[in-house]
A = this chain, B = another copy of it.
C-alpha cells in the first residue's frame, strides 16, 4: 500500500488540456502541487499539458509506472486496465464513474478481477483520487493548496470529500493524506487504515463512512489502529430514512445504526454526528497533549457561561476538580471580592486581563488540575484588543503540558479574534458546547488508550458435539433447532438450564416429573408445531402426579387435533423455574459486522424500551460486564428496593459463551436465550428458552 501513497511515477489516463475536464485538473494538481515523482499524462491526441509532454499510450512510456490514475469514460476502463496489467502497474486509481453505483456491477467485478489477477490493487471506481503528503502528491481533481499536517481523511463520499478538503484549508487544518474510496470494489477503509495506522505523519484519522461492507475486518483493524492513532468516524445514515437514502446513493447497505455505534465504541473509534464536530475534534486531537488525570477546571469571567460549561461537562463526561482547599489556594489571590473559587472558578465581570491571565497560570501550576476550560465573556470593562496576545501566550505555556480549550463570547471583535486564533491552530470556540465536546473527546480517547486490552483467546467449545447436532437437524432441511436440540447445544456450552426430559409415553412423563420434583411444566416436542401454546401443547405449574397424567393426555389430544399429521417426538417435562430477573442474551451474524452479541433485560425492556447493548463478538469478561452495565435497566440487576444483587457474573458467562459460539460456529446465524433468569448473587442464571437458527451448510441460503 506504501506505493499508492509514495509512488515514484504516476500515469494519468484521460489527461486533457481542457481545463474543465477532470483529466486536466488531476495533472494540474500533480504538477503544481509539488509532486516529488514523475507524471506521465496519457491521451491519444498527444501534445503537452502545462509544459509536460503527453503520451499517446501507456506502452510508449519508458519508465516503470507505480500508479495509474484513470479519468476516462467507464467503457474504456477495462482495456486501459489490461494495458496496465501488461505494463506491471502496481496501483489503479479509478476516478471514472458509471459502475456499481449505477448498477453496472459486472463490469466493475470484471475489472477488479483482472487487476487482482495481475497483481494490481484498485482504488475506486468512482473516486476523486488520492492526496499524500509523504510525496507531496495531489492526485485528485479536488482543490489545490492542501496544507501538510497530521490528519488523514478517508471518505466514501466524493462530493463531501472534496468539500472537506476545501474546508481543511479554510480552517488551517493540515493533512497527511486524503483518500476517496468510492465504490470500494477492492481497496476499502480497512486497507487504508492498515497503512495509515503505521504512517508516522498521521496522528488522527477522519473516516467518513456511508455503508460498511466488511465490518468484521474493519472492527479488527480499528482495534489496533485506535491504540496508535485517534480515529474519528462520521457515519451518515443514522436514521432509518437516512440509511435508505445512503443505500440509494452509494449502492452500499448501511448497517443497523445501533450495532455500528456499539462496535465503534468497542474499537475505541470516536463517532461524530456532524462534519463540524468531526473537524473540531480532529483538529484538537492532532495537537492537544494527553491529560494525566481526570480533574478539569472551568475558569470564567461570567457566571452564566460557567454554568453552561458545567452542563456541557456532564453531557460530555468530564469530571470537575473538586478539592475545595486546593482550589481556594490556587485561585484566592486572583479572585475579586465577589468571585468564587469553587469550580467553575468565577472571576466575575470585574476581572481584569491580568486577573484572567493569572488564574490560567494558577491552573497550569496546580498539579491537581489536569485540563482547563477557559471561558470569556466580552465585558465593557475588559480590553478585548489585548486579549489575543494573552491567549496566544497562555496557549504556548499550556501547549505541551495540559489540555486547554478556550471559549470566547461576544461581538464582532471577539468573533474576528476567534477566527484568527483558530487559523493559528489555537483551540478557541464561540460555542461553549463545542469547546467542551473537544475536551470530552480527548478524554474518551485517553480512557480508551488506558484501557487494558487483552487478546481475546479462543474459548474451547465442544464444536464437534454442536456440529453433529446441526448436521442432524440439517438433514431435515430445517433452518432451526428443535427445543431439545437447542437444549443439547446449551448443555454442551455448560449453561445452567431447568432440568428437563423428553417423555415418549405417559409412564416416562410421570417418571420424569417424579425425578425432577414438582411443580413441573410440560411442552409438546414436534418439529411440525412451532407455536406450542396455540396448539394447546403447553401445561404449566403441574403439582401432582395426577395433574401430570391429565396434562400429558390433554396435550397429545390437543396437538393431534391442531395438526393431524404432525410428527410428535414426545412431551418435554421440565422443572418449573422460580422467578428472578429476566434477561435476554442474543448472538447473531450481523450483515455488516459478522458475529455480534447482545444483552437486554426482560422481554418488555427489550421490546418496548429498546434497552439493549451490542458488541462485536467474541467478547472477554470485562466487555461482557461493561455491556451489562451499559443497560439503562442495570440497577435492576444490582438489586433495587432492598433486593439482593443478582448473579451478574453468571449472566456475563453466558454472554461470553454465546459470543464465542457465534464467532467459531459461523453456520449458526442466530441464538437467543429468552429468558435467561438471573438469581441472587452466587445462585447463577438459568437459560429457560434457547432458540437457534442456522444455515444448513449443505444448502445455499
Task: A308 to B155: give the CA distance in the assembly, Å.
Answer: 14
- The answer, yes or no, to whether A141 is at the interface (CB within 8 Å) is yes
Contact present for A379 and B159 (CB under 8 Å):
yes
Q: A303 contacts which chain B residues (CB < 8 A)?
A: 157, 159, 210, 245-246, 249-250
Q: Is the CB of A340 within 8 A of B308?
A: no
With A379-B162, A636-B604 as given contacts, are A241 and B314 in contact (CB-CB < 8 Å)?
A: yes
B411 and A302 contacting across the interface, CB-CB below 8 Å: no
- When distances are taken between beta carbons in the complex, the residues of chain B under 8 Å from A141 are 380
Chain B's nearest CB lies how many Å from the CB of A697? Answer: 34
Known contacts A160-B304, A304-B208; A410 and B166 CB within 8 A of each other: yes
Q: Which residues in window 111-136 of A have CB below 8 A to B? A: 128
Nearest-neighbour CB distance to chain B for A140, whole angstroms, equals 9
Contact pattern, A 65-102, Cβ under 8 Å of B = 1, otherwise 0: 00000000000000000000000000000000110011
The contact of A604 among B245, B380, B434, B640, by CB within 8 Å, is B640
A236 CB, min distance to chain B CBs, angstroms: 4
- What's the least CB distance linking A388 to chain B, in Å? 16
Chain A 231-259 per-residue mask, 1 if CB under 8 angstroms from chain B, else 0: 00000111111100110111000000000
**Contact A170 B237, beta carbon cutoff 8 Å:** no
Q: What is the CA–CA distance of A53 and B95 in the complex, to the nearest angstrom?
A: 76
The answer to the question of A674 belonging to the interface, with a C-beta cut-off of 8 Å to chain B, is no
CA distance A612 to B641 in the complex (A): 19
A468-488 CB mask vs B (1 if < 8 Å, else 0) is 000000000000000000000
- Cα A409 to Cα B208 in complex, Å, equals 15
Interface residues of A in 264-318 (CB under 8 A from B): 273-276, 301-308, 310-311, 313-315
- Return chain B residues, CB-CB under 8 Å to A238: 311, 314
Q: Is the CB of B607 within 8 A of A633?
A: no
The verdict on A242 contacting B608 (CB below 8 Å), with A166-B378, A409-B275, A431-B274 known, is: no
On whether A246 and B636 interact (CB within 8 A), knowing A142-B380, A162-B377, the answer reads no
**For A348, what are the chain B residues with a Cβ–Cβ distance below 8 Å?**
159
B159 touches A245 (CB 8 A): no
- Chain B CB within 10 A, most for which of A305, A308, A635, A640: A308
A105 within 8 A of B: no
Contact of A170 among B101, B210, B414, B603 (CB under 8 A): B414
User: Contacts A169-B412, A242-B310, A310-B242 given: A378-B431 contact, CB under 8 Å?
Assistant: no
- CB–CB B607/A632 < 8 A: no
Docked Cα-Cα span, A315 to B313, in Å, equals 22
Given contacts A241-B314, A314-B239, contact A380 B608 (CB under 8 A): no
Residues of B within 8 A of A498 (CB): none
Supplied contacts A159-B303, A163-B378, A275-B431, 17 more A-B pairs, CB within 8 Å: A22-B380, A25-B380, A97-B338, A155-B304, A156-B304, A159-B301, A160-B409, A162-B349, A163-B414, A166-B413, A167-B414, A240-B314, A242-B311, A245-B344, A250-B303, A273-B311, A607-B635
Q: Which 10 A-B pairs have the closest CB atoms?
A: A166-B411, A157-B304, A159-B302, A249-B303, A239-B314, A160-B304, A242-B310, A170-B412, A236-B307, A242-B311
Cross-chain pairs A/B with CB under 8 angstroms, 28 sampled: A101-B338, A128-B380, A159-B348, A159-B377, A160-B409, A161-B304, A163-B305, A166-B410, A166-B411, A166-B412, A166-B413, A167-B414, A170-B415, A210-B303, A236-B308, A237-B310, A238-B314, A239-B313, A239-B314, A242-B311, A245-B303, A245-B310, A246-B303, A249-B340, A250-B303, A273-B433, A274-B432, A609-B611
